[in-house]
Amino acid sequence: QVQLAESGGGLVQAGGSLRLSCAASGPIVNIADMGWYRQAPGKQRELVAGITRRGNTNYGDSVKGRFTISRDNAKNTVNLQMHSLKPEDTAVYYCNADITAWNADQHDYWGQGTQVTVSS
């Protein structure tokens, strides 16, 4: 069974940095796009950053210049390096990936989420 497992969340002061990691496991044939989303209390889930298999990236306007997404295709991992964190970055961060598993069609998978809290 395909699964996404996130790690790296936590509590940090404003201006600090955190690194989130996500590893995909299971009978994976191919991973297309990967990305990170976040959802703050009372708000809709929003795209933080995305990356194609070839390494093309896109970012939400609020994180441009502060966050960097990267992936390792050999290890089926995607990372999010976050710098200059602000209290408004506080949210649950979710890993997302478009995965083709063995004997299955391409499907959108989500991790369980990891909490990031930025104190002022």
pLDDT, tens digit (0-9, with 9 covering 90-100), for 33-71: 999 999 999 999 999 999 999 999 999 999 999 999 999
pLDDT, tens digit (0-9, with 9 covering 90-100), for 77-112: 999 999 999 999 999 999 999 999 998 888 999 999
Read out DSSP for 63-101?
TTTTEEEEEETTTTEEEEEE-S--GGG-EEEEEEEEEEE
Q: Is there a contact between 36 and 69 (Cβ–Cβ < 8 Å)? A: yes
Residues in CB range of 86: below 8 A, 6 or more apart: 14, 118
pLDDT, tens digit (0-9, with 9 covering 90-100), for 5-30: 999 999 999 999 999 999 999 999 99
Please tell me the predicted confidence (pLDDT) of residue 100.
95
Please tell me the predicted confidence (pLDDT) of residue 105.
87
The answer for 59, left when phi > 0, alpha when psi is -120 to 50, beta otherwise, is beta
* Per-residue pLDDT band at 74 (split at 50, 70, 90): very high
Q: Is there a contact between 91 and 20 (Cβ–Cβ < 8 Å)? A: no
Which amino acid does the sequence have at 24? A
